[in-house]
């Protein structure tokens, strides 16, 4: 009887100690889970904001340099055209008739194109006669000093003035782009430079919005190539203020649609919230929302960081599903459960044998 009582006491004590140990393990796991969850969120916030800021800073830098990039390009192109003209003049100017040399220069520049065929060279005499205008050759040989842009500016007169006073310079005109006659006039910046032997000036120009579009394409190509995160599965998204997707930034995994869900109405609402938040705080803001459940999946929390690029009317950001950490914690709970079961079996065997 005494032995049985001792055995019962030992068993009871073992189970009490086992319970205390198990409870301690689970309490510790709960505390660690809370710390892991908080650390995960903080790390994700740093990761999302730093990658988004880096991309937006680059976009803003590129946007602010649009005009300077245009001017550098057309200045360099004009210098190339002048180099061609001078080479022809130095080689043939002394032993060929002047009219022939003029024609040689004109025809050498006529077919040259750049910037995907948009750019070309023109020549105007210092007294306002069109010498070369390859996109509208019918104007060649005619006086164009009275030519006005869409705002009534006498652009040729301004070019002549710049060349007479400074030898070279930039002039801005406002024109309706070919094929877009119903649209508003676009600013076109030209660079002109004097060619002294024939009292000509040679120049070229580019529409500001064409250069901006090319720069935007480069910016989008760069943004679409960005990968970050431990698995390299996080990407940026870029949208217009109107909600048009420019770069698909959903995570590259099989269930990527969970970032925004597949319900059109819900997606539209979420995107609108992100855009409005970015427009109100262009410097950056975190937006949290629930992604509606899909099939067997429960609703998931999405943490997104968004910034605005007002210069281009864009919103840039990246997001993460916070259930990623819950999956990690659940896996940790499973490991703890297995550990507890093994420990319980060990204690039971020690007590019984």
User: Cα separation of 333 and 335, whole Å?
Assistant: 5
Angle at Cα 122 formed by Cα 202 and Cα 158, nearest 5°? 65
Q: Which of 139-153, 287-301, 318-332 has the highest mean pLDDT?
A: 139-153
Residues 6+ apart with CB under 8 A from 39: none
Angle at Cα 212 formed by Cα 208 and Cα 213, nearest 5°? 120
User: Cα separation of 88 and 3, whole Å?
Assistant: 119
Per the CB < 8 A criterion, the answer to whether 301 and 322 are in contact is yes
Q: What is the pLDDT of residue 252?
A: 37
Rg (CA), the chain: 35
Across all residues in the chain, what is the average pLDDT?
82
- The CATH code of domain 33-63+226-343 reads 3.30.450
Phi, psi at residue 298, to the nearest 5°? -85, 170
Per the CB < 8 A criterion, the answer to whether 202 and 81 are in contact is yes
Per the CB < 8 A criterion, the answer to whether 310 and 303 are in contact is no
Q: What percentage of the chain exceeds 70 in pLDDT?
A: 73
Q: What is the pLDDT of residue 254?
A: 39
* DSSP code, position 144: -
Q: What is the pLDDT of residue 255?
A: 36
Q: Between 273 and 166, where is the model more confident?
A: 166
C-alpha separations of 251 from 248, 260, 351 in Å: 9, 10, 52
- CB environment 235-264: b (16+ within 10 A), e (fewer): bbbbbebeeeebbebbbeeeeeebbbbeee
How do residues 325-345 score in pLDDT, each as one tens digit? 666 556 555 555 555 556 555
Pairs from 64-70 (Cβ < 8 Å, separation ≥ 24): 64/311, 65/215, 66/208, 66/211, 66/212, 66/215, 67/189, 67/208, 69/211, 69/215, 70/189, 70/206, 70/208, 70/211
Place of tokens 């001017």: 71
Q: What is the pLDDT of residue 4?
A: 57
Which CATH architecture fits 67-206?
Answer: 2-Layer Sandwich (3.30)
The two tokens of residue 312 are: 């281009």
Measure the N-to-C terminal CA separation of the chain; round to a whole number of Å.
Answer: 19
How do residues 240-255 score in pLDDT, each as one tens digit? 999 888 876 444 333 3
pLDDT reading at 202 higher than 60: yes
pLDDT reading at 169 higher than 60: yes
Per the CB < 8 A criterion, the answer to whether 147 and 133 are in contact is no
226: left (phi over 0), alpha (psi -120 to 50) or beta: beta
Instruction: Please report, for the chain, the start and end positions of each structural domain, with discontinuous segments joined by +.
Output: 33-63+226-343, 67-206
Q: What is the pLDDT of residue 186?
A: 92
């Amino acid at each position: 009887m005494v032995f049985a009582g001792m055995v019962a006491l030992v068993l009871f004590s073992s189970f009490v100690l086992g319970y205390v140990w198990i409870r301690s393990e689970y309490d510790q796991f709960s505390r660690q889970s809370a710390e892991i969850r908080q650390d995960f969120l903080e790390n994700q916030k740093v990761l999302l904001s730093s990658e988004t800021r880096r991309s937006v800073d680059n976009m803003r830098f590129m946007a602010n340099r649009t005009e300077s990039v245009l001017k550098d390009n057309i200045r360099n192109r004009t210098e190339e055209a002048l180099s061609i003209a001078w080479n022809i003049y130095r080689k043939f100017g002394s032993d060929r008739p002047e009219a022939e040399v003029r024609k040689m220069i004109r025809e050498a520049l006529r077919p040259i194109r750049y910037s995907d065929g948009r750019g070309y060279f023109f020549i105007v005499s210092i007294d306002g006669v069109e010498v070369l205008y390859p996109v509208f050759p019918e104007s060649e040989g005619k006086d164009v000093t009275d030519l006005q842009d869409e705002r009534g500016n006498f652009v040729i007169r301004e070019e002549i003035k710049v060349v007479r006073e400074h030898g070279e310079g930039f002039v801005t005109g406002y024109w309706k782009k070919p094929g877009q006659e119903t649209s508003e006039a676009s600013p076109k910046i030209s660079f002109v430079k004097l060619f002294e032997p024939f009292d000509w000036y040679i120049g070229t120009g580019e529409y500001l919005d064409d250069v901006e579009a090319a720069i935007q394409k480069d910016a989008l190509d760069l943004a679409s190539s960005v990968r970050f995160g431990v698995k390299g599965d996080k990407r940026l998204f870029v949208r217009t203020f109107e909600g048009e997707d420019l770069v698909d930034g959903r995570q590259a995994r099989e269930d990527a649609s969970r970032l925004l869900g597949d319900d059109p109405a819900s997606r539209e609402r979420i995107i609108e919230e992100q855009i409005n938040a970015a427009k109100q705080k262009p410097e950056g803001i975190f937006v949290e929302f629930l992604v509606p459940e899909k099939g067997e999946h429960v609703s998931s929390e999405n943490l997104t960081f968004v910034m605005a690029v007002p210069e281009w009317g864009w919103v840039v950001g990246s997001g993460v599903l916070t259930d990623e950490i819950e999956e990690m914690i659940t896996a940790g709970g499973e490991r703890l459960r297995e550990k507890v079961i093994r420990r319980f079996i060990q204690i039971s065997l020690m007590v019984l044998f």
